[in-house]
Amino acid sequence: MFARITAHSLRRAGSILLLASVLSACSAVQSIDTPAENGASAVAQASAAPSASASAAAIAASSTQASVAPSAAESPVANTTDEQAIIASIQETLDLYAKAYNDNDPSLLAQVVDPKNGPMKRYVQTRFENYQESIFGGQGGFEYTVTEVEPHESGFIIATIERSGLQAKWTFREVNGRWLMSEPNEKQLGERQKVESEHFTFYMYPWTKDVNEKLMQQMDVAREQVLEKLGKVPDLKANVYIKPTFGVGAVTSPNTLAFYDRNSRAGDRIVIAAPNSYVFPFYDASAGWEGDLQTTLTHEYTHLVNNRSFTPISRMSDWMVEGLAEYVSDPTSARSRGVPAAVASDQIIPIMDTSGQVNKQDLEHLTILEQDVGLAYGFAFTLVEFINDKHGGMDGFWKLVQSYDQKQNLPAAIQEAYGISYEQFDQEWRAWLEENYG
Ligand SMILES: [Zn+2]
């Protein structure tokens, strides 16, 4: 009953399409759909602490409740019950939405969004502004096609949308005879449930019951993958929050799959964007949303394990943190993020920028880079791979991390851990890059 878990990479599709590629802070999130925000970062701001509502709710209960199709009585205006008519109306909305982008005409946005949904209006407006301000702004070429509609609760429709061979699922609501972009409000999501599994505590809503079970299973896969690569995971259960809509829960950027939030009020947690919410990025239709999400969940869970069971992330260099998460979650990271092309054209991002400029463009400052962030993740991956290959496997990696934790200085840590200078380490890495990715 479960979809095949594959690691098909949207990143590859993204680079082929030359679409915006944006990484969220400390997250494997990539935006490959457009309209996309440029320079966006996942904002893992403090948000409502998970409350133990409906603790008795079991996943079995939520997954066996049959989906309730909106009846004529539920829908405020139920004239367009015919599926073809709904599809036509949603397509009209999507055409207007695309036109707003293609003509750079924000006045059209008001016609495509549910006027009663404040968060949704803000989301669409902000996203539009960020896109038009980005280097991709004004290029046009937007076209969306609705291929399928599925009734959901409270009169909502979940529509399958295609763009450039990619797919997303967006929700629509009928307002005065037209189907507009909308998401359920907090009340329509149903009561939040706390669901205990063997290794996780999940917070989720009945609204996402079609995917909750699959997401729980994917977290178990993430745990198995991290355990296999790192040898241990925390005994304490980790909190996982399934964020149902843009408007509810932690503040997130568009194109968020999932992120590790180590500063939430209730302790650290992993937040997953529901695959049928607007923030979830477009995905390769043949791989389904599960493919890249699995890679991302394993990436984010690696951060959690790193932070809880090894060394606090805040005491490690950026490339160690992200390189490790890439190394554990995605063996294709270097290639899919463009490392071979950068090596071939002699554009290796340095480990340490020694040019003296204030805004360091190096792997030590990976998460605050102004450009080539995706490529930097790829190079961080190669550093961890190189250390595993040439400096004693994972033990060698942790040896360096421990020295760095003490000294907070990379050359000193390399000297202590490996008995060589930073310059020699750098030279070895570059030679190894030529050999393996050149
Ligand atoms: Zn990360």
Q: What is the pLDDT of residues 309-337, one digit of tens each?
A: 999 999 999 999 999 999 999 999 999 99
Tens digits of per-residue pLDDT, 11-28?
333 333 323 333 333 444
302: left (phi over 0), alpha (psi -120 to 50) or beta: alpha
140 Cα to the center of ligand 1, angstroms: 31
123 Cα to the center of ligand 1, angstroms: 24
Please say if the pLDDT value at position 281 is more than 60: yes
The number of residues in the chain equals 438
Degrees (nearest 5) of the Cα angle 304, 306, 310? 135
75 Cα to the center of ligand 1, angstroms: 42
302 Cα to the center of ligand 1, angstroms: 8
pLDDT score, position 81 = 64
Please say if the pLDDT value at position 245 is more than 60: yes
Given pLDDT bands bounded at 50, 70 and 90, which one contains residue 368?
A: confident
226 Cα to the center of ligand 1, angstroms: 14
Q: CA-to-CA distance for 423 and 407, rounded, in angstroms?
A: 18
Given pLDDT bands bounded at 50, 70 and 90, which one contains residue 33?
A: very low
Quote the pTM value: 0.81
Report which of residues 67 and 392 the model is more confident about: 392
Tens digits of per-residue pLDDT, 159-199?
999 999 999 999 999 999 999 999 999 999 999 999 999 99
Please say if the pLDDT value at position 51 is more than 70: no
Q: Specify whether the CB–CB gap between 112 and 181 falls below 8 A.
A: yes
- Residue 380's contacts (CB-CB under 8 Å, 6 or more residues apart) are 318, 319, 320, 322, 323, 326, 363, 366
Q: Specify whether the CB–CB gap between 318 and 380 falls below 8 A.
A: yes
CATH architecture of 83-187: Roll (3.10)
Given pLDDT bands bounded at 50, 70 and 90, which one contains residue 36?
A: very low
What are the extents of the domains in the chain? 10-64+189-310, 83-187, 313-437
Q: How many CB atoms lie within 10 A of CB 133?
A: 13
62 Cα to the center of ligand 1, angstroms: 31
325 Cα to the center of ligand 1, angstroms: 6
44 Cα to the center of ligand 1, angstroms: 12
pLDDT score, position 39 = 30
Residues surrounding ion ligand 1 at CB below 5 Å: 26, 322, 325
Q: What is the mean pLDDT of residues 133-152?
A: 91
Please say if the pLDDT value at position 340 is more than 70: yes
